[in-house]
A and B are shown apart, each in its own frame.
Chain A
């Protein structure tokens, strides 16, 4: 009985040491831009497309998804000069969350990571963002449909620099004169 207790204890200690070594090795080999929160997570999806029909018809391509045994964490890569997360990034990641949850049946966290990569230096910075709720994403989809049906007046971007770069600048100025404003 004493021998059994000793052998079981030795096995337990060895397993605990092996697990600690695995975690330590993962921390050492993990690239610096990957958040520490994901150290114990497993990369399960990369460049994978998910489609759902309910509650909306939605197709989303996920750059990366990590699973920690409880829920999925989504990650999106963006290549841009400015280290700034845009509202469009959050909408895209939120839509991906809706598609992944609906397609896999697994829960996805209500936060995600946007990885911003500099186009020249390739340096990556990671930003944790809160995602929109399912209702918000559905509301955006409904609004998009109404705008495309021309049942709603479309909003414009409130940035002159973006307008000057736009391929539809001439058509936009004709269709939406400045005096008509930017809201519905």
Chain B
């Protein structure tokens, strides 16, 4: 079997997700190490959906127990934007475009 010298040979650290891959397909795990990570469009959509649902799961947990211990900061999952937040962003973008357009016409 060909060896790729660019990848570390002694992988001592594991994550629970990486160990879970052993229950699915070991070859895919090895090929990802050889050729780098690849994510198809469908897989990316599934991952994004999973992130959204986990954020919602966390929000429900915090409602159930506001003092529940969880990660905070950059690693914490953020809940998906609400309709009001999306509308506000859209209006801000339109206002910026109008400002640029009107400044260009003067």
Contacting pair A79 B50 (CB below 8 A): yes
Contacting pair A60 B27 (CB below 8 A): no
Please name the residue on chain A nearest to B40 by beta carbon: A167
Contacting pair B26 A48 (CB below 8 A): no
Any B CB within 8 A of the CB of A145: yes
- Docked pose: A149 CA to B62 CA in angstroms: 42
Contact with B along A128-165 (1 / 0, CB 8 A): 00000000010011011101111001111100001001
- Chain B residues contacting A56 (CB-CB under 8 Å) are 14
- Chain B residues contacting A58 (CB-CB under 8 Å) are 13-16, 19
Chain B interface mostly helix, strand, loop or mixed? helix
Any B CB within 8 A of the CB of A168: yes
Chain A interface mostly helix, strand, loop or mixed? mixed
Q: How many residues of B contact A (CB 8 A)?
A: 53
Please name the residue on chain A nearest to B4 by beta carbon: A150
Smallest CB–CB gap between A94 and chain B, Å?
Answer: 8
- Docked pose: A176 CA to B3 CA in angstroms: 14
Q: Which candidate, A1-9, A17-25, A39-47, is the interface stretch facing chain B? A: A39-47
Smallest CB–CB gap between B26 and chain A, Å?
Answer: 4
Supplied contacts A44-B65, A60-B15, 12 more A-B pairs, CB within 8 Å: A58-B15, A77-B57, A91-B20, A145-B10, A148-B9, A149-B11, A155-B26, A156-B28, A162-B24, A165-B42, A166-B28, A171-B31
Closest 5 pairs between A and B when the two form their complex, measured CB to CB: A154-B26, A46-B61, A88-B23, A60-B16, A92-B20
Point out residues on B near A: beta carbons under 8 Å: 1-3, 9-35, 38-40, 42-43, 46, 49-50, 53-54, 57-58, 61-62, 64-65, 68-71, 75-77
Point out residues on A near B: beta carbons under 8 Å: 42-49, 56-61, 63-64, 77, 79, 86-92, 95-96, 99, 117, 119, 122, 137, 140-141, 143-145, 147-150, 153-157, 162, 165-168, 171-172, 175-176
